[in-house]
Structure 1
Amino acid sequence: MQLVPRLFYFKTLSLCIATSLLLTACQKPSETAATPSQSHIELIQQDLVPLNYGESVEKTSFTGSIRAVNQSSLQSQVTATATTVRADVGDKVQQGQILVQLNNQDNEARLAQAKANLAATKAQATLAQNMMQRKQRLLDQGFISRVEFEQSQVDYQAQLENVKAQQATVDIALKAEQDGTLRSPITGIITKRQVEPGQTVAAGQTLFEIVDPTRLELQARLPSDQRNALSLGQKIEFHLQGNSEQLQATLSRVSPLADLNSRQIEFFATPSSQLSPLSIGAFVEGNILASAMVSGQLIPLDSIQDLGQKPYVWVIRQQKIERVPINVLEQRYSENLAVVEGLRTSDQISRVKFSDSDIHKTVTIQKNK
């Protein structure tokens, strides 16, 4: 009666031992396979960048445009009809050259009337002067009283004031008559024409815009928090939109106040070489060069991680992966280059991004075939 329970016990024990051995056999190969992948990493030579040393100039980037130093607009001072227009867009004009003739017949009539009134007033003044001189002689001879002589003096002075008033009227009429002939205020090239023959123009209306292409300058703005980069005489490198040629300029003027809306400071620079008149209005990208040189380690800009917060790079140091914090001295986006400090001479910069779990792992570098 006791054989059945004992037999069941031995069968159960054998089954547990077999299951345990099976689980142990299944786990060992996976652990053995995982161990090499966690402690060793292979890279190729193209994944690494050697560390270089060099000097660089700190640069502050900006955008702007090209403008003419001397530019002006021609506006009508009177309301009249344009009878003759003597210039068009692209024409070269000289200072004082007649560009528009307005129909100013009314002004001519007013000028003629004012001149006539002036002549009559001058005649009255001459008559009053002669009368005063005659009464002076009569007073000296005792034929008239002093009061009568003094009255003649008052009449003469009044006529002189009338002459001055009429002369002012003539000047006003002459100015109005001259406003009918519009002349170029500067020597340059017509860039905009807004009047046609027979067109009635209003007082204050712009008829022409003129620029002097012989003197061009660079106009740009910089955020007010970068104002320390603006100093008269600093060198600037720039290029025009659509043209890869690098040009040079010198910072010549800086606005003393920042714009209240954009919080930017406007500045101007004089190009070192003469620019084509077609450059006026062209978009500009450039850099303001600092006067002091920056010395440091040169590495690819795209190899830096967390550039805006706590920059660091992955390096191979003594054949192990290390995460090394760095100090970024300068960034050159156009060249994908950064000037930094904090690395060792023997460090190799990795283009491959790792994780914190890879730190201190051994690295094998495969040589190029």
Structure 2
Amino acid sequence: MTRRTGLLLFAVLVALLAGAFAWRQVPSRRAATVAASAPAASAGSAAAVLELAPGDLVEVRGRPLTRAVTFTGSLKPVQSAVLKAKVAGELLALTPREGDSVRAGELVGRIDPTEFDWRLKQAEQQVAAARAQRDITLRQLQNNRALVEQGFISPTALDTALANDNAAQANLAAVQAAVELARKAQADALLRAPISGQVAQRLAQPGERVAVDARLLEIVDLSRLELEAALPPDEAAVLAPGASARLWVEGRAEPVAATVVRINPSAQAGTRAVLAYLGLRGAPGLRAGLFARGEIALARAAAASVPSVPVSAVRVDASRPYVIAFENGRVQHRRVLLGARGTADEPGATEPYVELREGIAAGTPVLRGSLGLVADGAAARLAAMAVPRALAASAASR
């Protein structure tokens, strides 16, 4: 063995020893990496805590509820009318526009009356001719009567004269009726508002040629409005005309009082819903077509110890309804059994409440619906601010 070969073998041996030492150090490095990352992960999870404001929670507690029937619908005027053309012709004028007020019988437009004027003159001339013909037949009848009495002509000639006079009399009556029809057509060329109210739609423009029964104006009377509510049969069965209701209309913060004026005696085919009609007086901001949700008070709940929460706090995105309770620094999904709905007789209660018959105890704070979906078991805490005593005590005791 030469010296060069010995040096080469020594280098290979040193490389093998260094590789074995590095391989033995890999598990210890992995353990050190995991140990270093564990505190960081725990610190991150500790930081992901849901901050709850007092307004995000509502307490489950017994409230006196007034049972109510909720519904939705659109407002429509009790009285509305569409002005239509009674005669065909060119529309010369149509004064009102959308939003203008009109009175019943007010002149609002005009159709070209030239044709109807000439027809009236023609009919009047026909009346004059028929009247002159009647005068001739009447004089002839009178002469024939005198001649028959003197024996100069036979009674048959008298009968002929009498028939001619009757025909002339009938012809005169017919052309007189034609005159009245021509006068009516002439008057129909003047467009008058059928009811008092406001113009909702203007459906024609001056210069157009309109046909008979063409729609020109839609007029609505907003002094009295009506809402058509489709109710389930069990709820409609306990209703009666005269029941009071409250409506929340788009664009108005305050509810509007309404009354059940009538109930349809037949159910709708397919849905089996019963239509109830609610009447209300017109007020500023109330317009035809606005969407409204309403509530009809039926009866007050006898037991005030039944736990209840706002309807918006009940989640329905799962197979069964549930609420999100705040207990022991975490939020928990609790399935609940719902009862009757109604309004809470307490200050500031503007939305409907629902009874919670099972699944959660009274005094438990739950998340309002405005907070959105929250994972079950997520950590949570009350924000460091002025926390209501009731909620703070409830959270501290759990």
Among 66, 69, 93, which residue is 2:102 paired with? Answer: 93
Q: TM-score, normalised by structure 1?
A: 0.69
293-302 or 151-160: bigger deviation = 293-302
Distance 1:324 1:259 in 2: 35
Look up the match of 2:237.
228
Shift of residue 48, structure 1, vs aligned partner: 10
Matched, 1:197 2:213: no
Which residue identity is paired with 1:255?
Answer: N
For 2:301, what is the secondary structure of its paired residue? strand
Q: Is the 8 A contact 1:306 1:312 kept in 2?
A: no
Consecutive unaligned residues in structure 1, runs of 5 or more:
1-45, 317-322, 356-364
Among 278, 282, 293, which residue is 2:300 paired with? Answer: 293
- Report matched runs for 1:20-169 at 5 Å: 51-52=61-62, 54=64, 56-169=65-178
How big is each residue's C-alpha offset from its partner over 1:261-319, in whole Å with a ceiling of 9 and x where there is no partner?
A: 65443332222x541265222111111221x33212242265799999799999x9xxx
Among 330, 345, 348, which residue is 2:341 paired with? Answer: 330
Q: Is the 8 A contact 1:48 1:348 kept in 2?
A: no
Shift of residue 85, structure 1, vs aligned partner: 2.3
Shift of residue 110, structure 1, vs aligned partner: 1.6
Of all paired residues, the percent bearing the same amino acid is 26
For 2:231, what is the secondary structure of its paired residue? strand
Which residue identity is paired with 2:248?
Answer: H
Distance 1:348 1:114 in 2: 88
Shift of residue 99, structure 1, vs aligned partner: 1.3
For 2:266, what is the secondary structure of its paired residue? coil
Look up the match of 1:186.
195
Flag the 1:67–1:225 CA change in 2: closer, same or farther, 3 A. same
Which residue identity is paired with 1:190?
Answer: V
For 1:254, what is the secondary structure of its paired residue? strand
Distance 1:161 1:367 in 2: 103
Flag the 1:211–1:152 CA change in 2: closer, same or farther, 3 A. same
Consecutive unaligned residues in structure 2, runs of 5 or more:
1-53, 328-333, 345-349, 367-374, 378-393
Look up the match of 2:288.
280
How big is each residue's C-alpha offset from its partner over 1:107-159, in whole Å with a ceiling of 9 and x where there is no partner?
A: 22122111211221122122222222222222233332222212211111111
225-234 or 91-100: bigger deviation = 225-234
Q: Is the 8 A contact 2:320 2:335 kept in 1?
A: no
Q: Is the 8 A contact 2:321 2:335 kept in 1?
A: no
Look up the match of 1:208.
217
For 2:110, what is the secondary structure of its paired residue? strand
Distance 1:83 1:348 in 2: 73
- Report matched runs for 1:229-248 at 5 Å: 229-248=238-257
Look up the match of 1:16.
none
Distance 1:51 1:80 in 2: 72
Flag the 1:135–1:336 CA change in 2: closer, same or farther, 3 A. closer
Which residue identity is paired with 1:295?
Answer: A
Shift of residue 76, structure 1, vs aligned partner: 1.4
Shift of residue 254, structure 1, vs aligned partner: 2.6
Shift of residue 245, structure 1, vs aligned partner: 0.5
Shift of residue 192, structure 1, vs aligned partner: 1.4
Aligned length: 302
Distance 1:171 1:50 in 2: 78
How big is each residue's C-alpha offset from its partner over 1:92-114, in whole Å with a ceiling of 9 and x where there is no partner?
A: 21212111111132222122111
Distance 2:133 2:117 in 1: 25
82-91 or 332-341: bigger deviation = 332-341
For 1:266, what is the secondary structure of its paired residue? strand
RMSD: 3.8
